[in-house]
Amino acid sequence: MKTYAPFRLFLSVLALASVALYAPAAAPKPAAGGELSGTLHDGGSHEAIPQANVVLLRAADGAYVATAATRADGSFAFHNVPFGQYRLQPTVLGYEPMRPVVTVSAQQPHLALGTVEMMPYGATLAGVLVGTPEAAPLSRAAKVGNAGRYVLTSAHRQRLTASRPVQL
């Protein structure tokens, strides 16, 4: 029995060495997707916009991909984004909507957008008024949910106050 133990040990070491020498090296996995990052700032004051939602939509059909909330410094990031073209849609109340198209590819998997500035409604840039309101819709009220309540629109309130002179 004593002669078999060293022989078994020799065969075990020989088997492990042959597996280690002849096994193919594990190839590194290609990246499944990329990263997209940026910082959201106010276009007028250049301050960070915290707690804003940034939605990533597929550019071809507008399908939802992911959502990120901005941090206190206005930064946001998307991880493991499949390669392709996307529409970035930051949603912040009181700011002009913007939907830039960005591309995440294998050649540029880490896309840093830098500072994305959103313009507030009614802001002026070099003497040009940005965010002028569109004409009010003709409807006088908008239904809120299924509760059956109605809310007057601002256009309707303006017409009511203009048609009734204030008695002092």
Percent of the residues in the chain that have a pLDDT greater than 90, as a whole number = 36
Which residue, among 154, 108, 118, 96, has the nearest Cα to 46 in the 3D structure? Answer: 118
pLDDT for residue 130 is more than 60? no
Asked whether residue 24 is domain-assigned, the answer is: no
Residue count (the chain): 168
Percent of the residues in the chain that have a pLDDT greater than 70, as a whole number = 60
Main-chain phi, psi angles of 46, to 5 degrees: 60, 25
pLDDT tens string 84-114: 999 999 988 889 888 889 999 989 899 999 9
Q: What CATH code is carried by the domain that includes residue 82?
A: 2.60.40.10
Q: How many structural domains does the chain have?
A: 2
Residue 8 has what pLDDT? 77
Q: Find the range with the poorest average confidence among 9-23, 64-78, 86-100, 152-166.
A: 152-166
Same structural domain for residues 51 and 117?
Answer: yes
Burial of 162 (0-12, 13-18, 19+ CB in 10 A): exposed
Structural domain harbouring 158:
134-163
Asked whether residue 5 is domain-assigned, the answer is: no
- What one-character-per-residue DSSP string does 20-40 give? HHHSPPPPPPPPS-EEEEEEE
**Locus of tokens 């507030």:** 120
Same structural domain for residues 74 and 144?
Answer: no
